[in-house]
Structure 1
Amino acid sequence: MTYIDSHGGDRVKSLSPEPTIHDPVQITESTLGEWTEIRPHSRLHAAEIGDYTYLMERVQLDYTTIGKFGNIASDVRLGPPNHPIDRPTAHHFTYRAAMYDMGEDDDTIFEWRADQPVEIGHDVWIGHSATVLPGSTIGNGAVVAAGAVVVDDVPPYSIVAGVPAKPVRRRFPEDVAARLEATEWWHWDHETLADRLADFRDLESFLSAYAPETAEPSRLD
């Protein structure tokens, strides 16, 4: 019997400030923060990945910004490029003409794509095989369920699921989410995170120690 390792190798036992990039990975015009990990067969184009964010196997990003502490499961697609369906054909020979020896490429299509970025906040979890379409914004602390297709903005600390993705429930009550978000803990330095690790393992302890008693909920523009 032949074993096929279709889901990547074993998890690494330690990371470092230098990004950990597994082979094969394709990265173009992108930046990676510290303590990040990119698992095999992922592809990033015009992407920005914040500190501590990890991408599991076969993730594809186009024109996407992900904040810190992002949790991106395998087979996720963020910002898959749209085709110009208002033309006689949606096929890319009309804008990748040089590939087919038909003339010059049409750069306006690539500019149009770049003008529809995906923006992912901090501490966001995106489940297996989810898709986030161009132009969508996902707020801090949100969760996108496995297989969901996000076509609209997702408010902070909300959980969405389905095709198209719809709200299921909140991750925390709005007042709790506002207090948690007000701490902006994702900007704490590495030593502070390590020192406060025990409090990260209990919500009430964390809120009591670091959050204001009240805070205004954040809104997506």
Structure 2
Amino acid sequence: MKDINYISKDAKIGKKTILNAPVRLVGNAVVKHSCEVGSYTFINSGTTLFPGTKMGKFCSIGKNCELGAFDHPTTWLSSSAIQYNLKLHFPDYVDDFEQKKIVRPSETIFGNDVWVGSLAIVKRGLTIGDGAIIAGGSVVVKDVPPYAIVGGVPAKVLKYRFDEETIERLKKVKWWDMSISKLKDISFDNISEALDQLEKRKED
């Protein structure tokens, strides 16, 4: 079967962005320039991936999230963009303020099998580990470990999806990189049995 993306007519995709089919963008989802999205990832309406966001495979992203959003300086005289981006916001007043260079992280990284609940915000420059879950409405300001479930404002680790041994097996098998043929008939609803099957098929 030919690789196909499912893109809503209202969705927007920036330049130099790579969608590794199949990817689904729903409603008015926005993936800005220089992003990359892995296969079988679903991005819901109202969500924005800001420039330089890299997202793995099999991710599920809820509605109205801001992922990798640009922040404002907090240690300068002002938090206003008049100090560093006047041309974009007030082009008729470019001579009023000397512009300063602002340095921000170039990428925000989401691993594979990440679920982000609706209305979540993820600060630019963070790394969200494989298998992590971000609760809806959370504000994430720190890196999230693999298979952690985080929530709150600011988000904190609430618990982990599995015990340490299971997480280590998942990190080693990296099922998301296996061919679709090897994922057929896996016991998805039984983590122990699924891992046994995946480990055996990876060896074949």
Q: Which TM-score bucket, shorter chain as reference? A: 0.7 to 0.9
8 A Cα contact 2:129 2:147, kept in partner:
yes
In 1, Cα distance between equivalents of 2:145 and 2:75: 31
> What pairs with 1:56-135 in structure 2 (closer than 5 Å)?
56-62=44-50, 63-99=52-88, 100-103=91-94, 108-109=101-102, 112-113=103-104, 115-135=105-125
Classify 1:144/1:31 alpha carbon distance in 2 versus 1 (closer, same or farther; 3 Å). same
Identity value in percent? 32
In 1, Cα distance between equivalents of 2:44 and 2:176: 20
Aligned structure 1 segments of 4 or more residues deviating by more than 6 angstroms: none
For residue 171 of structure 1, report the CA deviation from its aligned partner.
0.1
The one-letter code of the counterpart of 1:28 is G
Spell out, residue by residue over 1:119-176, the C-alpha distance to the aligned partner (whole angstroms, 9 max, x if none): 1100011111111101211111111111111111111111111111111111000111
8 A Cα contact 1:19 1:35, kept in partner:
yes
For residue 106 of structure 1, report the CA deviation from its aligned partner.
5.7
**Could you tell which deviates more after superposition, 116-125 or 165-174?**
116-125
8 A Cα contact 1:180 1:211, kept in partner:
no
The residue aligned with 1:31 is: 18
- Structure-1-length-normalised TM-score: 0.79
For residue 35 of structure 1, report the CA deviation from its aligned partner.
1.1
Spell out, residue by residue over 1:22-56, the C-alpha distance to the aligned partner (whole angstroms, 9 max, x if none): 02122213211111001111122232111111101
8 A Cα contact 2:129 2:146, kept in partner:
yes
Please state whether the residue corresponding to 2:64 is helix, strand or coil: coil
In 2, Cα distance between equivalents of 1:203 and 1:33: 27
Structure 1 residue ranges without an equivalent (≥5): 1-14, 213-221
Classify 1:131/1:108 alpha carbon distance in 2 versus 1 (closer, same or farther; 3 Å). same
The residue aligned with 1:201 is: 189
Structure 2 residue ranges without an equivalent (≥5): none
In 2, Cα distance between equivalents of 1:146 and 1:175: 27
Matched, 1:175 2:165: yes
Classify 1:17/1:78 alpha carbon distance in 2 versus 1 (closer, same or farther; 3 Å). same
Counterpart of 1:54 (choices 18, 22, 42) is 42
In 2, Cα distance between equivalents of 1:162 and 1:197: 36
In 2, Cα distance between equivalents of 1:85 and 1:151: 14
In 1, Cα distance between equivalents of 2:99 and 2:43: 31
Aligned length: 193
For residue 204 of structure 1, report the CA deviation from its aligned partner.
2.1
For residue 201 of structure 1, report the CA deviation from its aligned partner.
3.3
In 2, Cα distance between equivalents of 1:154 and 1:211: 26
In 1, Cα distance between equivalents of 2:72 and 2:12: 22
In 2, Cα distance between equivalents of 1:178 and 1:49: 25
In 1, Cα distance between equivalents of 2:113 and 2:152: 21
